[in-house]
Amino acid sequence: MTQIARESIATELIATEALTKRYPNGVTALSALTVDVEPGIVGLVGANGAGKSTLIKILLGLLPPTSGQVRVLGLDPVADGERVRGRVGYMPEHDCLPPDLVAAEFVTHMARMSGLPRATARERASEALRHVGLYEERYRQIGGYSTGMKQRVKLAQALVHDPDLLLLDEPTNGLDPAGRDAMLALVHRIGTEFGISVVVCSHLLGEVERICDSLVAIDGGKLLRSDRISAMTTTTDVLAVEVGEGTQELAARLASLGFCPRIEGRGLVLPIAGDAMYDIVLDAIADLELPLHRLDQRRHRVADLFREAANV
Ligand SMILES: Nc1ncnc2c1ncn2[C@@H]1O[C@H](COP(=O)(O)OP(=O)(O)OP(=O)(O)O)[C@@H](O)[C@H]1O
């Protein structure tokens, strides 16, 4: 689909209303979930068993809800599952790749499954593998790939039919820190440069905060919070100061000036008390001849908000 056509997609990416899923064993995986999600990079977070996978299966039209409404890209996945799947790419969490196929063959096969003619499928597979950084390795057997490369093949097959929405289930699962950073950068690039909306399922709030525009948090099948990340990470009324040495000395000086500094990690935090405070703190640092590393107004981290919510 062209960029223009993509831009004309209704502003609603996913909408649910009183969505409920009860499994035959009596477990209620989703309970009257009502949420509207705008296009962009969206984090879907929740602990194990929160209902994330159930929601994804319903969004893909693979599982019918017990009651309630759901729309994906303006379509009803219950009545129109095939059309939804034609416009949505899905990267499952677990390893589901055939080890004895080469990546180019497998991704071409997935493109064929989504209805593309042979030559186009081959072309699109090469392109998708190039986007995920596997072009040079595309004729190697998947069984010999590292975990990071396997995750990239799963991403390539989700991208191959040029979807408008990608559903990624725990894309950084099993990766080391460097592999995680690379995968998050790739997901962010897909969301920003290709103009594809992405829903990233994760139990790691820090990851979601780094790359997502908005966040949907669910717990026990219920909506905990849905908001833009920028609205959640507002500035606080706390000043964070970090000096290369003499933290204790600085804390004592600021206390003698009437502030209430608290040592936290490698630095100090103190409640902001008026505009003049910045200059007073800077003067104290200069007076004590300490090397200043950082002085800024702290922002909320998304994880802090959830911790605060859990404590009330
Ligand atoms: N097919 C099923 N039959 C019965 N119960 C199920 C089924 N699938 C999931 N559940 C239950 O529904 C609840 C939600 O599970 P779901 O897999 O959607 O959560 P999740 O947030 O994706 O968790 P995880 O991160 O562990 O995959 C859990 O209590 C789970 O045991």
ipTM for the complex?
0.96
262: β partners: 269
Neighbours of 249 (CB within 10 A): 13
Residues forming beta bridges with residue 238, ordered by sequence position = 271
> Of 59, 46, 74, 79, which is closest to residue 19 (Cα–Cα)?
59
**Three-state secondary structure readout of 18-64:** EEEEECCCCCEEEEEEEEEECCCEEEEECCCCCCHHHHHHHHCCCCC
What 8-state DSSP symbol labels residue 279?
A: H
Is the C-beta atom of 25 inside 6 A of ligand 1? yes
Determine if ligand 1 sits within 6 Å of the CB of residue 27: yes
Inter-helix orientation angle 147-159/118-131, to 10°: 130
Instruction: Give distance in angstroms: CA of 175 to centre of ligand 1.
Output: 23
49 touches ligand 1 (CB under 6 Å)? yes
| pLDDT band, very low/low/confident/very high, at 3 (cuts 50, 70, 90) | very low
Distance CA 32, CA 175 (A): 34
51 lines ligand 1 (CB under 6 A): yes
pLDDT in tens, 185-243: 999 999 999 889 999 998 888 888 889 999 999 999 999 889 898 877 767 788 899 99
Q: Is the pLDDT of residue 309 over 70?
A: no
Q: Is 46 in the pocket of ligand 1 (CB under 6 A)?
A: yes
CB of 50 sitting under 6 A from ligand 1: yes
For ligand 1, atom 16, name the residue with the nearest CA.
51
Architecture of domain 3-230: 3-Layer(aba) Sandwich (3.40)
Q: Is the pLDDT of residue 7 over 50?
A: no
Q: Does residue 172 have a pLDDT over 60?
A: yes
CA of 53 to the centre of ligand 1 (A): 7
CATH code reported for the domain at 235-311 = 3.30.70.100
The CB-side HSE value for 270 (13 A sphere, CA atoms) comes to 24
What does the domain layout of the chain look like in residue ranges? 3-230, 235-311
Q: How far apart are CA 172 and CA 105, in angstroms?
A: 24
Assign 115 to helix, strand or coil: coil
Q: Which residue has the higher pLDDT, 5 or 129?
A: 129
Nearest one of 147, 82, 137 to 106, comparing CA atoms: 137
| Choice from 21, 22, 25, 27 to test ligand 1 binding pocket (greatest atom count within 8 A of CB) | 27
Q: How much is the pLDDT for 74?
A: 94
State in Å: Cα 48 to ligand 1 middle.
8
Predicted pLDDT at 278: 87
Q: Is 218 in the pocket of ligand 1 (CB under 6 A)?
A: no
b/e code 133-167 from CB counts within 10 Å (16+ = b): ebeebbeeebeebeebbbbbbbbbbbbbbbbbbbb
Rounded Cα–Cα distance for residues 46 and 203 (Å): 6
Residues 246-298: tens digit of each pLDDT: 999 999 999 999 999 999 888 999 988 877 888 899 999 999 999 999 888 87
Q: Cα(291) to centroid of ligand 1, in Å?
A: 52
Give the residue from 168, 175, 221 showing the smallest Cα distance to 55.
221
Q: Is 61 in the pocket of ligand 1 (CB under 6 A)?
A: no
Please count the residues of the chain. 312
Using CA atoms, how far residue 117 sits from 109, 161, 267, in Å, is 10, 11, 60
Q: How far apart are CA 283 and CA 288, in angstroms?
A: 9
Residue nearest to atom 7 of ligand 1 (CA): 23
Confidence band for 5, pLDDT divided at 50, 70 and 90: very low
| CA–centroid distance, residue 177 to ligand 1 (Å) | 27
Q: Is the pLDDT of residue 27 over 70?
A: yes
pLDDT at 54 over 90: yes
Q: In what order do the strands lie in the sheet with 267-271?
A: 262-264, 267-271, 235-243, 292-299
pLDDT tens-place string over residues 63-118: 999 999 999 999 999 999 989 999 999 999 888 899 999 999 999 999 999 889 99
